[in-house]
Structure 1
């Protein structure tokens, strides 16, 4: 239940921040700053420090100011507010909500490709073109390597998953053989 509440409050913050960034024509800057803040708060040790009841609030705020010194002052204020309310975990929801609003506003779609080995730039471009044709929008593609898929690729586009990995093909084959034997 707390995860749902975190997501909902994260969406409210994201919407308010997006409107402010749009009004001030700082959409991309806010996106970068929110990503930085979410990454910083995603650090397990830093999150434990911020969540520790024995650490004075002034010390937490000073640490936030130091670590996020390059970020917009309102981003630092937001992080301090979340820390003060015990909502450090909501920062990722704020960042993801903001990024989704930004992508919708700019008419782009994020996608992630997972492969067993790193892809060459030309391969990434071909995959980006393929996804662009599928969704009919500009695509921002991120790539990650997972040796467990053995080969092929997995493409995540929003809620859709296109699984062309060798490991899932082998799993389907194994299930088919089991069904034949049973």
Structure 2
């Protein structure tokens, strides 16, 4: 089990330094990209997380990744090197998640998911985001997902609140009401 308090300390320190440099959003994006690369490549994750590999081997792999992913924010590159040096790279997925949450909170953003039966246009997503901003009093960053089971309409989840305007839910509610009569 990964100790979340360790990940939280690294995420907080990284956010503090990135904020001083006014690069917190860029660091968040690059950290997510780096963490995503590890989660998608099992062999790469094995080399970086497995203590059977030497620290030097892991350093070489991280340096190669930094070059392969293109120009990386210096504060993030240094943090990744520090994580390798201290054998804490296993905390990277949690650090990335916590960093994103902290950066969002600091910027007054909240992340949400919107599910629809068909892909939504960028204009529709923008309009929906504006409506949710009015409801939540915070900037809402939406991630769209398509689910044909929805039938029609949209369902948006922001934090723990679900705004469900799907046809499927409306039909289900109508069915329950008819059963009660």
Structure 1 residues 68 and 145: alpha-carbon distance in aligned structure 2, compared to 1, 3 A threshold:
farther
Distance 2:173 2:88 in 1: 45
TM-score by length of 2: 0.78
Work out whether residues 111 and 140 of structure 2, in 8 Å CA contact, stay in contact via their aligned partners in 1. yes
Distance in 1, Cα, partners of 2:97 & 2:157: 16
Q: Deviations over 1:61-119 (max 9, x none)?
A: 2222222233234424433554563652x323212222222222222222221212110
Using the TM superposition, give the Cα deviation of residue 59 of structure 1 relative to its aligned residue in structure 2, in angstroms: 2.3
| Distance across 1 between alignment mates of 2:95 and 2:53 | 25
- Counting matched residue pairs gives 176
Which residue matches 1:61?
Answer: 59
Question: Which 5+ residue runs of structure 2 have no aligned equivalent?
Answer: none
Query: In the alignment, is the contact (CA less than 8 A) between 1:114 and 1:153 conserved in 2?
Result: yes
Correspondence 1:168-179 to 2 at 5 A: 168-169=169-170, 176=176
**What aligned pairs does 1:74-93 form with structure 2 within 5 A after superposition?**
74-82=75-83, 85=87, 87-88=89-90, 90-93=91-94
Asked if 1:11 is matched to 2:8, the reply is yes
Cα distance in 2, alignment partners of residues 137 and 51 from structure 1: 37
CA RMSD of aligned residues (A): 2.9
- Aligned equivalent of 1:128: 129
- What are the within-5 Å matches in structure 2 for residues 34-53 of structure 1? 34-45=31-42, 46-53=44-51
C-alpha deviation, 1:125, in angstroms: 1.9
SS at structure 1 position matched to 2:165: strand
**Please, which runs of 5 or more residues in structure 1 have no aligned partner?**
none
Residues 116 and 59 (structure 1), Cα distance of their counterparts in 2 relative to 1, 3 Å cut: farther
Deviation at 1:20, TM superposition (A): 1.0
Greater alpha carbon shift after TM alignment, 118-127 vs 103-112: 103-112
Structure-1-length-normalised TM-score:
0.78
Distance 2:48 2:121 in 1: 40
Shift in Å, 1:142? 2.1
1:30–1:172 CA distance, 2 compared to 1 (3 A): same
